[in-house]
Amino acid sequence: GNSVTQMEGPVTLSEEAFLTINCTYTATGYPSLFWYVQYPGEGLQLLLKATKADDKGSNKGFEATYRKETTSFHLEKGSVQVSDSAVYFCALTSYNQGGKLIFGQGTELSVKP
Amino acid sequence: EPEVTQTPSHQVTQMGQEVILRCVPISNHLYFYWYRQILGQKVEFLVSFYNNEISEKSEIFDDQFSVERPDGSNFTLKIRSTKLEDSAMYFCASRSSVSTMNTEAFFGQGTRLTVV
């Protein structure tokens, strides 16, 4: 079945550091890929998405590129801020699955001033 | 901005009791979902709901669970007889369509259920 694997957290960085959170997936067909973010005390929010191979999703300085050859969707940001501290979830859905999302286990990011 | 609202934010219940978790999806959305996250584990799909019936359910969603859209605005998850292992954060989500090309799922803030 479909699955998503994320790098383990927590990840602790200093402000302005470069961020990479790895995400790989297993899926039949051509899934759509997502990054969701959960800020403390809040719900899950869509951060970015990519719906086909080689697409790059981007938002708020974050980027992720849909790599079919490596089945990956790594999240990157060039310079993190304290306000980026949150839990980040990689997820996928396949077109024929009624919008059901399959999530990775989440990676907690803590950015120190 | 429209949002999905869940109540309560935290519920503590005794083992064996029934609980109802409530969600108000975004008003023009048609597809509704419940997910849960046991502490330290993945967010897991429980059930999807469309046109007043369950579209899909996971293995987790056994006979102890039920969902309902009683009045056209609320979307509820009922657990009939709670177990300790039901303790988790429960997320409700809604979506206007299932075309992933153009739509996203909007999530509520979650209800933390603690079974004691």
pLDDT tens across B31-54, in order?
999 999 998 788 999 999 998 999
What is the C-alpha to C-alpha distance for residues B58 and B55, in angstroms, rounded to an integer? 11
pLDDT at B39: 87
Average pLDDT, chain A: 93
What is the C-alpha to C-alpha distance for residues B28 and B44, in angstroms, rounded to an integer? 25
For residue range B85-99, list pLDDT tens digits in order: 999 999 999 998 766
B42 vs A contacts (CB less than 8 Å): 103-106
Query: Could B44 and A44 be called an inter-chain contact, meaning their C-beta atoms sit closer than 8 Å?
Result: no
The tokens for A85 are: 């501290």
- One-letter amino acid at A15 equals E
Is pLDDT of A107 > 80?
yes
From B32, B45, B36, select the one nearest B98 (Cα to Cα): B32
Chain A contact for B53 (CB, 8 A cutoff)? no
Chain A contact for B108 (CB, 8 A cutoff)? yes
Query: Could A103 and B35 be called an inter-chain contact, meaning their C-beta atoms sit closer than 8 Å?
Result: yes
From A43, A20, A23, select the one nearest A34 (Cα to Cα): A23
If you write DSSP's letter for every residue of A41-92 in order, what string do you get?
A: TS-EEEEEEE-STT-EEEETTEEEE-BTTTTB--EEESS--GGG-EEEEEEE
* Average pLDDT over every residue of A24-31: 89
Chain B contact for A42 (CB, 8 A cutoff)? yes
Which residue has better confidence, A17 or B39?
A17
Is pLDDT of A14 > 70?
yes
Question: Strands B10-13 and B111-115: what pairing?
Answer: parallel
pLDDT at B100: 56
Chain B contact for A32 (CB, 8 A cutoff)? yes
What is the C-alpha to C-alpha distance for residues A50 and A60, in angstroms, rounded to an integer? 15
Q: Is the CB of residue A9 less than 8 Å from the CB of residue A110?
A: no
Which residue has better confidence, A18 or A7?
A18
Chain B contact for A98 (CB, 8 A cutoff)? yes
- Give the residue from chain A lying closest to B49, CA to CA: A98
- Give the residue from chain A lying closest to B94, CA to CA: A99
* Average pLDDT over every residue of B62-78: 93
What is the C-alpha to C-alpha distance for residues B41 and A94, in angstroms, rounded to an integer? 22
pLDDT at B70: 86
- Give the residue from chain A lying closest to B9, CA to CA: A41
pLDDT at B41: 83
Q: How far is A87 from chain B (nearest CA, A)?
A: 11
Q: Is the CB of residue A9 less than 8 Å from the CB of residue A107?
A: yes
- One-letter amino acid at B15 equals M
* Average pLDDT over every residue of A65-85: 97
pLDDT at A82: 97
pLDDT at A112: 96
Chain B contact for A1 (CB, 8 A cutoff)? no
B44 vs A contacts (CB less than 8 Å): 103
Instruction: Label residue B101 by pLDDT band (50, 70, 90).
Output: low
- One-letter amino acid at B25 equals P
Q: Is the CB of residue B75 less than 8 Å from the CB of residue B67?
A: yes
Instruction: Label residue B102 by pLDDT band (50, 70, 90).
Output: low
